[in-house]
Amino acid sequence: MTSKPQRTERRADALSKERIVEAAIALLDAELRARLTLVQQARAEDLEALRNRYASLGIEEDFFVNYGFLPRAHHMLLHPRTPRRSWTPGNKKRAQAVLEFVQSRGTVHPREVDAHFAHGSVTNYWGGSSSASTHLLDNMHYYGLLRVVRRDNGIRLYAVAAHEHAPGPANAEQRRHNIDALVDVIVQKYAPLPAASLSGLVRSRLGVGLPQCRGEQLKQAVSRARARLAHAQVDGVDWYWPANENPPSRKYQPDEELRLLAPFDPIVWDRRRFELFWDWAYRFEAYTKAPKRKLGYYALPMLWRERVIGWGNVSVSDGRLVSQLGYVSGQAPRDSVFKHALEQELQRMRAFLSLQPE
């Protein structure tokens, strides 16, 4: 019988860097293709309307490893949150008053709270000045006292949380189970993950979503994940992915479609992995001063086949889609398949933005 270490070594030998990349794109593409299908069938205003029907979607806005939308089942695993530093008596009093105000109104805009209480301003995360009421609402939302029910021109509208959070894990075993379930969600979303990214996502990013968990608990969660996940070492880097997925499988083959990916797409978000895969550094430059930008204000990484070969900046001018494209090699591929795939992607974007086809 072949020993487990020998099987692991053979599996690692069978996986080249290119094979890992191909498999990664295929594994991530299941979700990407679902999103693509949605875009083909919908327009931007349709998705905006859908986003405002939170109650019917079974989702919540919350911070997990980043801020976004979560299925309610995953959201519940993050709560109840307990502050690492207790609120001051003054903050507790203000929060209780705001809670009662929101309860009496049903749904509130932050400016209503600010107008009623006149809390003043605070220094925000970026060093600027923000409304103290908005800051308090954010904290109350983070700790599960309020929920976002919809948005008005991008501004969160709040209501009292409609559901009671469970009292929390009854014992250490249940706590470990909950943490492991959340780690599995992370891996399912971002795998294959280099070891450093797996550790960072759990110990740092998940730590923000789970303030009630201490560093040692998250460190142990990383160790448990490494023990149960599939693993291979490629070019000296340890990679992890769900145990029920098999990257060398022939079913993971890249297709011919081209995708312009969002800067925060799961394929792009982990910059460390991005550079390991494609040997160049993508940077989100919306907050970079224009003279210092190299890729553009909102550059969208260009995925074709199994590689990210460049980027695109797109905008609308006089009712037409304008695209400015750049390539890592300095020029576009001389391939008719590429030209067709690029035009198809731009056409999908026109349809999404309700522009006339060209």
Q: In total, how many domains does the chain have?
A: 3
Range of the domain at 154: 89-160
Q: What DSSP string describes 260-281? A: E--TTSHHHH-HHHHHHHHSS-
- Report the alpha-carbon distance of residue 35 to residue 179 in Å, rounded: 28
Same-domain status, 263 and 327: yes
Residue 121 has φ and ψ, to the nearest 5°, of -130, 160
Residue 98 confidence (pLDDT) above 90: yes
Same-domain status, 307 and 262: yes
The reply to whether 248 falls in a domain is no
Where a domain ends, among 160, 177, 197? Answer: 160
Mean pLDDT of 82-110: 91
Same-domain status, 155 and 178: no
Chain segment 33-72, per-residue pLDDT in tens: 444 444 445 566 665 666 666 667 788 999 999 999 899 9
The reply to whether 71 falls in a domain is no
- Of residues 132 and 163, more confidently modeled: 132
Residues constituting the chain: 358
Same-domain status, 173 and 37: yes
- Report the alpha-carbon distance of residue 127 to residue 132 in Å, rounded: 14
Q: What was the pLDDT predicted at 222?
A: 98
Q: What was the pLDDT predicted at 221?
A: 98
Chain segment 256-284, per-residue pLDDT in tens: 999 999 999 999 999 999 999 999 999 99
Q: What was the pLDDT predicted at 17?
A: 52
Same-domain status, 100 and 130: yes
Looking up residue 126, the CATH number of its domain turns out to be 1.10.10
The reply to whether 195 falls in a domain is yes
Q: What was the pLDDT predicted at 29?
A: 47
Residue 268 has φ and ψ, to the nearest 5°, of -105, -30
Q: What was the pLDDT predicted at 350?
A: 93
Same-domain status, 148 and 192: no
The reply to whether 271 falls in a domain is yes
The reply to whether 253 falls in a domain is no
Cα torsion for 166, 170, 176, 177, to the nearest 10°?
Answer: -60
Same-domain status, 275 and 345: yes
Mean pLDDT of 223-245: 94
The reply to whether 135 falls in a domain is yes
Chain segment 217-232, per-residue pLDDT in tens: 999 999 999 999 999 9
Same-domain status, 217 and 145: no
Same-domain status, 237 and 271: no
Residue 203 confidence (pLDDT) above 80: yes
Where a domain ends, among 102, 131, 160? Answer: 160
- Report the alpha-carbon distance of residue 252 to residue 304 in Å, rounded: 15
Same-domain status, 105 and 189: no
pTM here?
Answer: 0.82
Same-domain status, 183 and 320: no
Average pLDDT over the chain reads 84
Nearest C-alpha neighbor of 243 from the set 29, 11, 9: 11
The reply to whether 84 falls in a domain is no
Q: What was the pLDDT predicted at 10?
A: 38
Same-domain status, 149 and 174: no
- Report the alpha-carbon distance of residue 15 to residue 162 in Å, rounded: 49
The reply to whether 338 falls in a domain is yes
Chain segment 11-37, per-residue pLDDT in tens: 344 445 555 555 555 545 444 444 444
Sheet of 230-234, strand order = 193-194, 237-241, 230-234
